[in-house]
Amino acid sequence: MTVTAFPPAAVLPRPRTGRPAPRIPGRLAHWWPVLPVAAPVLLLAVPVEFGNGSSTSTNVSVADLASAFLVLFCAVRLLRGRSRPLSAAAAAVLGAPLAGLAVATVTAADPVAALPGFVRYLQVFVLVPAAVVLLLRDARDFRLVAAAFVVLALVQGGFGVWQYATRTGASYMGSDIRAVGTFGPTDIMGMATIVAFGMVVATGLALRPPPGAPRWARPAALAAAVALVAPLAFSFSRGSWIATVVAVLAVVLSAGLRTAVRALAAVVAVAVVLVGGFGVGSQLISDRLGSITQVAAAPDQSVTDRYTMWAAAVSMWREEPVTGVGLKGFPAYRDGHASLGLSSGSDTAGAGHAFQRQPLLSPHNMYLLVLGEQGLVGITALAGSWAALLAGGVRRLSGARRSRRAAADCGLVAVGLMVWQSVDFLYADIGGPSTALTGIVFGLIAWWALAGPRPPGAAAPDEVPAGAVLPGAVRTPATVRPGTV
């Protein structure tokens, strides 16, 4: 009996429907799905005058537009069936803030005026984080976005140091020495936030380099973390200092005691050389550090304003304890709940801008802002979502350390960012161009806490190599030996 040998094993070709899909050359074929996640980060290097918003503009930055494209890009991929859906746990945690947002918008005195706030919260805490979770496929994607944070921090931080050295920054104590990067004096927290993010990320990557990383990766990450100490110091942002110290300590301690001792010794030594040895702003920084412990005994006007606005937010909550006064309602209700000690605004000048009074539109405390505007419903949903992310991130990091999984560096970065954001929200809230980064940060945290890296060897749906057999595909028989059927 004659037996005809079949061709070598292969996957039956899919029927052609229209034009063949274009081929993406080189390394771009792997990285292009995650580039929309890194784009909002890198685009914040664009100066304010060229699209990052200001207090006199529409406050829509080029990074906000990039984050909108990120959400749209993710939605298109979902509709085409190219990305996995969110798990039930991820959908519940990331969707929880919707409850408070919807209630606060509907019950606001002017629901139409509350809509911009609804869209902003939806962007930062729901849509962008969900899109990041869906688009990140593995730890390499996470590290690419994390590296973008470090690059942006070095760019903005370098510009901030130059502002301090040349006295071309924002006004501080009568001199234009405050480092604000490209954000100008109307967003003095922008550069400090970015530099802090970069320092936390660089610290995590330095303590636990990715597997297979070149030998220079650890010293380069450590050098980046140390280099960012100077611009963070020259930002004169006490809230950012406190949040960064707490977050870096959390990252260092999570990496292990032996690693913690070596890392802290190196950071302290270099910081002493930078700030103490060369006298880089030592007197001004010392005075600013000392003012942290004097805010209760002898507060300056900025601290008095902050305490007054905190009290006003609490008073708003007492008036409407369940639903709050509505999104974007703090400015309208502020004067009716604040004491006479509140000033009419803060003075801003320098960094290429003329003197102007900036209105006080928020209490500079995210928790109190949500409590006053969204009530118990909003603060429970939003803070509960953040607590779930922190708990999930710590749990996964502990498991990764015990099993020595390769992606523990991602866990260190995610937990550090969550700790930083949780502490910083005690002294700040969302607002300004750098807010676009907050959504990306929560996306990285959510990816680690709720999705995490795939098991070794598992490929993403759009990473199946050519010639592989997909579930349900028909495979032709291999060559048949003579004498068999």
Percent of the chain with pLDDT over 90: 40
234-251 pLDDT per residue, tens: 988 888 889 999 999 999
- Rounded to 10°, the helix 88-95/128-135 angle is 160
On whether the CB atoms of residues 352 and 184 are closer than 8 A, the answer is yes
Q: Which residue's entry shows tokens 């707490």? A: 246
Residue 260 predicted with pLDDT over 60: yes
DSSP string covering 167-233: T-SEEETTEEEE--GGG-GGGHHHHHHHHHHHHHHHHHHHHSPPTT--TTHHHHHHHHHHHTHHHHH
Q: How far is CA 109 from each of CA 105, 114, 117, rounded to the nearest angstrom? A: 9, 9, 14
Q: How far is CA 140 from each of CA 103, 137, 205, 312, 479, rounded to the nearest angstrom? A: 39, 8, 13, 45, 39
Instruction: Indicate the length of the chain as a whole number.
Output: 485
How far apart (Å, rounded) are the C-alpha atoms in residues 314 and 297?
Answer: 22
Q: Which residue's entry shows tokens 């004096």? A: 185
The torsion angle over the Cα atoms of residues 405, 31, 142 and 448, rounded to 10 degrees, is -80
Task: Give start and end residues of each alpha helix (H) in 338-365.
Answer: none
SS3 content of the chain, % helix, strand, coil (to 5): 65, 5, 35
Q: What is the pLDDT of residue 372?
A: 94
30-45 pLDDT per residue, tens: 677 789 999 999 999 8
Q: Which residue's entry shows tokens 């015990």? A: 402
How far apart (Å, rounded) are the C-alpha atoms in residues 198 and 221?
Answer: 10
Q: Which residues, in sequence order, are CB contacts of 153 under 8 Å at separation 6+?
A: 194, 195, 197, 198, 199, 201, 202, 224, 228
Per-residue pLDDT band for 226 (boundaries 50, 70, 90) equals: confident
274-288 pLDDT per residue, tens: 555 545 555 666 666
DSSP string covering 461-477: GGGPPTTPPPTT--B--
Residue 436 predicted with pLDDT over 60: yes
How far apart (Å, rounded) are the C-alpha atoms in residues 91 and 86?
Answer: 6
- Residue 161: what residue type? V
Q: What is the pLDDT of residue 9?
A: 42
How far apart (Å, rounded) are the C-alpha atoms in residues 13 and 20?
Answer: 12
What one-character DSSP code corresponds to residue 358? E
pLDDT: is 93 or 352 the higher one?
A: 93
The pTM of the full predicted model, rounded to 2 decimals, is 0.83
Q: Which two tokens stand for residue 219?
A: 């010293």
On whether the CB atoms of residues 326 and 103 are closer than 8 A, the answer is no
How far apart (Å, rounded) are the C-alpha atoms in residues 172 and 427?
Answer: 19
Percent of the chain with pLDDT over 70: 71
115-168 pLDDT per residue, tens: 999 999 999 999 999 999 999 988 999 999 999 999 999 999 999 999 999 988
On whether the CB atoms of residues 207 and 401 are closer than 8 A, the answer is no
How far apart (Å, rounded) are the C-alpha atoms in residues 65 and 305?
Answer: 33
Q: What is the mean pLDDT of residues 167-194?
A: 86
∠9-12-15 over CA atoms, to 5°?
A: 165
Q: Which residue's entry shows tokens 């040349």? A: 166
Give the strand pairing for 353-358 and 175-178: unpaired
Q: Which residues, in sequence order, are CB contacts of 348 under 8 Å at separation 6+?
A: 170, 171, 185, 186, 188, 355, 356, 357, 358
How far apart (Å, rounded) are the C-alpha atoms in residues 112 and 465?
Answer: 50
